Structure 1
Amino acid sequence: MSTLSLSPRSGLTWTVLRLHRGSLWLWTAYVVLLAGVLLWAWGPGVSDLGIVGGCDPGVANVCTAKGSTADSFHYAVSFADTFLSLLPLAVAVFAGGALLGSELEKGTAQLAWTQSVSPARWLTTKLALPALALVTGTALLVVLRRQVAAAAPGLSQSQWYAGSFEVLGPTAVALPLLGLACGALMALVHRRSLRGAGFGLALTAALTAAAGLLRPHLWPTEIRVGTVAQNYLRFTGEITSEGAVTASGAHIADPMCVGKSACIAEHHVTGYYREGHPPSHFWPLQLVEAGLLLALTAVIVFIAYRILRRSVAA
C-alpha cells in the first residue's frame, strides 16, 4: 500500500500515530483527568455548596458557598480552568518541538519526503491528526465546564465576565488550534526542536494576550447613564469603562465630586455612565473571537505551507 495512504492502520497516518503514541496517551490522560474533575464538580460538588446570599446570575460576587463541598468545588473548578487556559501554550510547545521541530532537526522529515511522501502531505497529516484530537477532547471539556457553570450560576466562577470567558465557549476550542499552528510555523522557520518550541510558545502567548485585549471591542458595547442624584446605575456584566458625563455629553474621568456641588459645577457634570457588555453579549463575543482566531490560524497554516514549499525548492 502506498505510503500516501491515510488509512488508520497503514501509511503516513499510522506512522504518525505510532511515533507520537506517548503524546496521544498523555492527551487522553489529560482529557480523562479534567473530565473526571468536572464531572465531580457537576455532581457531588454542587450537592452541598450551601449558597449564602442573594445569588444573581448576572452579578459577580453577590453570594458565596459555605457548604461542606464549597472549598473542594472551588479548587476543582480552578484546577480545570487553569489547565484549560494553559493548553494552547502546551500545544505550541509540543508542535514546535516533538511534533515537527524534532523531525526537521534530525532529518527524518526530509527522508520521508524522498520516499513518495510529499512535504505537503506530510505536514497535512502532522497537523490534521492533533487538530482532530484537540477539537474532540477540548469540546467535551467545554461542554462539561458549561454544565458545572449552569449548576451553580450565582458563583463568580460560573460567570463569564468574572474571568471564565476563555473556558466556557468555542474560544476554548479555537485557542489550542492557534497554538498548534504557531508551533508548526516556528518549527518550520527554525528547524530546531528547542527553538521551535520556545518561539512557538512566545508567539502563542503574544497572540492570546492580544485576543484578550481586543475582546471588549469585538461587539458594540451598551451604556447606562444615571443622573448626578442617581450616581452610577447598576450594570450587569463586564464593565469596560465608567466615568462622568458633562453638559456637552462628553465622557470624562470621574472627578470624584460626590456630594460637592462646587466640584460638580466646575466640571459641568450632569451624570455618570457605565459602559460594557451585558450577559447577553457572551455568545456574540465568543463567536466573533472564535471566528477571528480560526481565521488567524488558517493564515498561519497557509504561511507554514509557503515556508515549507520554499525550503523544499531551495
Structure 2
Amino acid sequence: MLWLTWRQHRAELAGALILIAALAVPLILTGLTMREAFDSGGLAACAGAGSGPETACTRALNVFLGEYSEWGTQVIWVQLLPAVAGVFVGAPLLGREFEHGTWKVAFTQSVTRTRWLGVKLAVVGLGVVAVFAVLAALFAWWRTPLNAVEGPMEPKAFNVQGVNLPAAALLAFAVGVLAGAVLRRTVPAMAVALVAFVAIRVPIELYARPHYLPPVWATADPVTDSAGAWIGSPTDWVLDTGYVDAAGHKLTEAEGLTILRGVYGDGTSLHGPGSPLERYLAGHGLRHLVEYQPAARFWTFQLIEAGIYIGLAVVLLAAAVWFIRRRTS
C-alpha cells in the first residue's frame, strides 16, 4: 500500500519540492538583506520604541518599515497556498479513483477498504502537513525582523507562519477529499473544494480569531498622553480605536463620527496634543480607547486556530470514509 501510494502521488511530491525551492531562493536572498539592515541599524534595541515623540529609534524604525514593510504585504498571497492542497491534492485523491473506476480494483484486493482509505489519507495528508510546515518555518525565519517591529499578530504575518499554515493546509486537503468522495468527479470537486475552504476559513479569520481571548482595552488621556503611547507595544494587534466616556462606556462608531463632524465640520481633521479634537475630548470627559490583542498571545492564538482547523479536518475525513464505505458497500 505504501509503495502504491508513493507511485500514485510522486508527481504531487515533485511539485511540492519545486514549490519549496521556488519560494526558498527569493525568501533567503531578501531575508538576508532585511536581516542585514535590521542588525546594522541596531534596531533590535529600538523594536519596542513605539510611536511616541520622534527619536533616533523611531526614525530608524520608520526608515526600516518604509523600505521593508511592503515586502511583508507582498507575500500575503502565501495564505492562499493551503487552498492549493485542497484543490490539486485533496479533490483528485478520491475523485480521480472514482472517475476512472480504479477504486473497483483496489476494493477487490486483499487489502480492506478501511485500510486502503486509511493509508492513502494518512500518507498524503501527513505529506501535505510536512510540506506546509517547511514553508511556515521558512516564512517565520524570513519575517523575524518584521515581527520584531510590526508584530506577528496581523493577518499578513499570522497566516503564513507557526502552526496555522500547515493546519490550514490539512483542512483544505480534508475539504477536497470529502468533495471528491461525494461528487466522484475531479474538476467539480476541485471547484467545490476551493469555494468551501474559503467559506470556512474567512469567517474564522475575520470573526472568530479576534475573540479567541477577550481583547485588552487601553485608554489615554487627551491632555497628558501622547498619541499612541497607551498601546502596550507597537507589535500588538490593534482591533479597534474609539472613545470612552467618564463612566468607561465605549462610544459607538456613529457617536465618534458625530464628535469629529462637530469639531471639524467638513474640514481637515488635525490630531495630536493640543489639537481641537483633544481639547474637545478633555472638555467633555472623554478618553481615547484602543482595543487590541497583545503580541504575547501569538502562540496561544496559533494553537487555538490550529486546533479548530485540525478538528474540522478530522471530522471531514471521517465523513469521507463513512460516505465511501456506505456508497461502495
Q: Is the 8 A contact 1:225 1:232 kept in 2?
A: no
SS in 1 for 2:276: coil
Compare 18-27 and 46-55 and name the one that shifted more. 46-55
Aligned to 2:28: 39
Query: In the TM superposition, what is the alpha-carbon distance from 1:119 to its structure 2 partner?
Result: 2.4
Rate the CA distance shift 1:207–1:59 in 2: closer, same or farther, 3 A.
farther
2:47 is matched with 56
Against the structure 1 CA distance between its residues 152 and 194, is the aligned structure 2 distance closer, same or farther, given a 3 Å change threshold?
A: closer
AA in 1 matched with 2:63: T
Residues in 1 aligned to 2:203 and 2:114: alpha-carbon distance in whole angstroms = 30
- Once structures 1 and 2 are overlaid, which stretch shifts more, 122-131 or 34-43? 34-43
Q: How does 1:92-111 map to 2 (within 5 A)?
A: 92-111=86-105
Which range moved further: 96-105 or 143-152?
143-152
Q: Tell me which residue corresponds to 1:312.
A: 328
Kindly indicate whether residue 177 of structure 2 is the aligned counterpart of residue 184 of structure 1: yes
Contact 2:219/2:290 (<8 A) preserved: yes
Count of aligned residue pairs for this structure pair: 295
- How far 1:248 sits from its partner (Å)? 3.3
Look up the match of 2:239: 240
Q: Secondary structure at the match of 2:287?
A: strand
Instruction: Choose from 8, 13, 16 the match for 2:5.
Output: 16
One-letter amino acid of the structure 2 residue matched with residue 89 of structure 1? A
Deviations 1:7-42 (A, max 9, x none): xxxxx2211211222111111111222233333233
What is the alpha-carbon distance in structure 2 between the residues aligned to residue 162 and residue 97 of structure 1?
Answer: 27
Please show how residues 48-87 of structure 1 align to structure 2 within 5 Å.
48=37, 56=47, 62-65=61-64, 81-82=76-77, 84-87=78-81
Following superposition, the deviation at residue 46 of structure 1 comes to 3.3
How many angstroms apart in 2 are the aligned matches of 1:13 and 1:182?
A: 23
Moved more, 195-204 or 32-41: 32-41
Change (3 A) 1:301 1:245: same
- 1:259 matches 2:253: no
* Equivalent position SS for 1:252: coil
> Take 2:199 and 2:50, find their aligned partners in 1: how far apart are those partners?
30
Task: After TM superposition, give the deviation of residue 215 of structure 1 in Å.
Answer: 0.6
The superposition leaves residues 29-62 of structure 1 with CA deviations (integer Å, 9 ceiling, x where unpaired) of 1122223333323335533578699953586995
Question: Within 5 Å, which residues of 2 pair with 1:293-308?
Answer: 293-308=309-324
TM-score, length basis structure 1: 0.81
1:137 has 2:92 as partner: no
Contact residue 92 and residue 180 of structure 2 kept, 8 A = no
Structure 1 residues 113-152: aligned runs within 5 Å:
113-152=107-146
Partner AA of 1:208 in structure 2: R
Distance change in 2, residues 1:241/1:139 (3 Å) = same
Query: What per-residue deviation string (whole Å, max 9, x for no partner) do you get for residues 117-164 of structure 1?
Result: 3222222222212222222222222222222222455554x6432621
Alpha-carbon distance between aligned partners in 2 of 1:99 and 1:243, rounded to the nearest angstrom: 50
Could you list the runs of 5+ residues in structure 2 that have no partner in the other structure?
Answer: 52-57, 264-274
Q: Which has the higher helix share?
A: 2
Distance 1:65 1:225, change over 3 A: closer
Is the partner of 1:117 in helix, strand or coil? Answer: coil
Q: Whole-Å Cα distance in 1 between the matches of residues 172 and 26 of structure 2? A: 24
The SS at the match of 1:280 is helix
* Counterpart amino acid of residue 259 in structure 1: P
Q: What amino acid is aligned across from residue 135 of structure 1 in structure 2?
A: V
Q: Distance in 2 between matches of 1:190 and 1:302?
A: 16
In structure 1, the gaps of 5 or more residues are: 1-11
Offset at residue 200 of structure 1 (A): 0.9
CA contact (8 A) 1:160 1:168 kept: no
After TM superposition, the structure 1 = structure 2 runs for residues 151-190 of structure 1, keeping only pairs within 5 Å, are: 151-153=145-147, 156=150, 159-161=152-154, 163-190=156-183
Q: What secondary structure is seen at the aligned counterpart in 1 of 2:154?
A: helix
What percentage of aligned pairs have identical amino acids? 26
8 Å CA contact 2:217, 2:291 repeated in 1 = yes
| 8 Å CA contact retained: 1:134, 1:177 | yes
Q: Residue 44 and residue 241 in structure 1: after superposition, are their counterparts in 2 closer, same or farther (change >3 A)?
A: closer
Secondary structure of the 1:163 match is helix
Q: Structure 1: how far apart are the matches of 2:92 and 2:228?
A: 53
Whole-angstrom distance in 1 between the partners of 2:239 and 2:94? 41
